Structure 1
Amino acid sequence: MDSPREIAAGLVVRGFAPPLALSRFRLIAFDMDSTLINIECVDEIADVAGCKAEVAAITEAAMRGEIADYKESLRRRVALLRGVTVADLEQVYVERLRLNPGAERLVAACKAAGLATLLVSGGFTFFTDRVRERLGIDFVRSNVLEVRSGPNCGELTGRMVDQEWGDICDGAEKRRMFLETCAKLGISPKEAIAMGDGANDLPMMKEAGLSVAYHAKPRVREQAMVQINVGGLDRLLEVVRER
């Protein structure tokens, strides 16, 4: 692949000459935590539980690609959340979760150009379902936190619930859902864009026709076709033009 080149401050491309027409693509897939939104939800839930430092250290290592077994790393983190209430989750959503700059503009531009939208996350349905609704995302895959009866509408058991497609949405599952969605739409993966920031996004990014690293870990930046290192998500529109 060609050497990376900075085409504007904090905007780097590799392997192609911009601009590309947005209309040549039919799908855009997003990671959620630290990509579409400003936080790692599991870390902020852990803050409520009083174990943020321990959980955040595992998250950082996983996102940098330093932990081989992502599923086990997530199980370890979720186990530390036992006893957190649904009211606590609501507080994290209301007080801490924000869409990253440019998210609404980029999603709107993609939808206007006829692209379908996919959210694939190693995070949790409590948050992905709400982000999906806010942005009008077409498809979503993420993890379900197990809740048992308790105060404030229930509390976490420290486990996740298996779903019909499998147990945990890790990098391999992100790739599978990305390819499954392409097949459902009747398109090639090369007609899709994939955006993420962590190592578990690389499997789907490697399949996409355009891979985008957003304020990403070094390993992800090194392999992406586009790096957005400064500014919002909508800086992609400097590379992939709406018209």
Structure 2
Amino acid sequence: MKKFAALLLTLLMAVSLMACAGNKETAETSPVDTENSISEEASEQENSTDEPISEEMPEQESNTDVFVPEETENETEEESSDVLVAYFSATNTTEGVAEVISDATGADLYEIVPEDPYTDADLDYSNDNSRSTIEMNDPSARPAISGSVENMERYRVVFLGYPIWWGEAPRIVSTFVESYDFSGKTVVPFCTSGGSGIGSSAANLEQLTSGGEWLEGTRLSGDSSHAEIVEWVNSFGLAEVSAE
């Protein structure tokens, strides 16, 4: 009986020890501990992960220090012509000659445009009451001009063209020459007409100005060839002229 009791006690103790061992194993692998383990592992991975390196871009040089040369006033004037062809043309005949001179010399071109344009009736020379007749009979008449020559002071040579009305330059050309200072300039007059020469028209215009050197002018017709006009311009030796 004692042996049986001792054997039973031994079995109970063995079962108890086995139960304790099982509980301990279960406790060591409980879900809570597993989550903690995963959380700690993730935390370690996060801590061990290198943070992205912020690469600083090299500072670019400012463009404010870049020197951009500005065009000077002298350079601008050098690029511009110092020869001017100014003309009045009521019927476009004088305009054609003026354009040839401008093209041949590279001169600037300026048209003397009346503020009140001339009509065909105004140019009726046979009508004593036409505008042109009234103006030419009045030496003090000064028809107004629309616009003006910019930077007139920069020109050293001025070719001045006009038609012949009653043996004279139209009064609007008198308005033009009285509007500018020709000191230090060379003026080369030329006219167009059906047959009349330049006569005293240029000399009369010169009397309206002060200063400037007026050269002897000539008559050029609308039929004058390019070569004839260039030959005349070349005779003064005042500007570079293209023979083409």
Structure having the larger proportion of residues in strand: 1
TM-score by length of 1: 0.35
- Greater Rg by CA: 2
